[in-house]
C-alpha cells in the first residue's frame, strides 16, 4: 500500500470515529455552487465558509467555466442550486503556459500517438494570461450560455494564495 493510501485509511478512521453528519440531504442546503481551481493551496471549506452539506464544490484546472459546465448543469437542474460563486486565484498554473506548450509537452513526454489523440480531440487546455480578465470572461460565459438560466446569481472572485483573502471582481 502506498503512503497516500495509508494516509487515507488513517484519516478515515479518525474522521468516521466522530462523524455525526450522516443525515444530510443530497441537495446542497444553501442552494449554491462554488467553482474553483484544483490548486492544492485552496481549502474551499475554510477559505469560503462552506459547511458540510451547504454547497457543491466543483474543481478543475483554472476554475474553468467551460470545463465545469457539465457539473454546473447537473448541480442546477438536478440538485437545485441557484447561485454560482466562481473563484480563480493568484499564482494559478494556468497563467504559466499556452496550448502550444501543453501540446508540445504531451508529444515530448507521451509520444506521437498521444499527440495525435490530443489533436483529434482538439483539446483546449483553457490557459489564460490575465487573471482578472479571465474571471470576467468566465462570468460572461456563464451569463451568456442558455444552459444557465438568467435567474441564477453569478459572481466572480479571486483568492490570494499569499494572504488567504478572497476578493470580489464582478
- Positions touching Zn ion (CB under 5 A) are 37, 39, 92
In the annotated binding site for Zn(2+), the residues are 37, 39, 89, 92
Rounded to a whole number of angstroms, the minimum distance from the CB of residue 121 to Zn ion is 22
Rounded to a whole number of angstroms, the minimum distance from the CB of residue 94 to Zn ion is 6
Rounded to a whole number of angstroms, the minimum distance from the CB of residue 72 to Zn ion is 18
What are the Cα distances from residue 59, in Å, to 10, 20, 35, 38, 161?
A: 25, 26, 6, 5, 16
Residues in CB range of 66: below 8 A, 6 or more apart: 124, 126, 138, 141
Query: Which CB, 55 or 92, lies closer to Zn ion?
Result: 92
Grid cell digits, residue 94: 494556468
Q: How far apart are CA 118 and CA 107, in angstroms?
A: 9
Q: How far apart are CA 141 and CA 39, in angstroms?
A: 22
In the annotated binding site, the residues are 37, 39, 89, 92
35: closest CA among 26, 48, 24?
Answer: 48
Rounded to a whole number of angstroms, the minimum distance from the CB of residue 42 to Zn ion is 8
Q: Are strands 153-159 and 166-168 parallel, antiparallel or unpaired?
A: antiparallel
Cα 126 to chain centroid, rounded: 13
Amino acid at each position: 500500500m502506498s503512503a497516500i493510501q495509508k494516509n487515507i485509511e488513517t484519516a478515515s478512521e479518525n474522521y468516521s470515529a466522530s462523524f455525526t453528519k450522516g443525515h444530510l440531504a443530497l441537495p446542497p442546503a444553501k442552494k449554491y455552487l462554488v467553482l474553483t481551481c484544483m490548486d492544492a493551496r485552496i481549502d474551499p471549506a475554510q477559505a469560503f465558509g462552506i459547511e458540510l452539506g451547504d454547497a457543491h464544490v466543483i474543481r478543475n484546472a483554472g476554475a474553468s467555466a467551460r470545463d465545469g459546465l457539465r457539473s454546473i448543469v447537473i448541480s442546477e437542474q438536478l440538485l437545485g442550486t441557484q447561485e454560482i460563486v466562481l473563484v480563480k486565484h493568484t499564482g494559478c498554473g494556468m497563467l504559466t503556459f499556452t496550448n502550444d506548450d501543453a501540446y508540445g509537452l504531451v508529444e515530448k513526454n507521451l509520444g506521437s500517438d498521444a499527440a495525435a489523440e490530443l489533436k483529434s480531440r482538439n483539446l483546449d487546455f483553457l490557459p489564460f494570461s490575465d487573471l482578472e480578465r479571465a474571471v470576467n470572461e468566465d462570468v460572461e460565459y456563464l451569463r451568456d450560455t442558455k444552459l444557465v438560466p438568467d435567474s441564477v446569481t453569478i459572481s466572480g472572485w479571486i483568492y490570494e494564495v499569499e494572504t488567504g483573502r478572497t476578493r470580489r471582481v464582478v
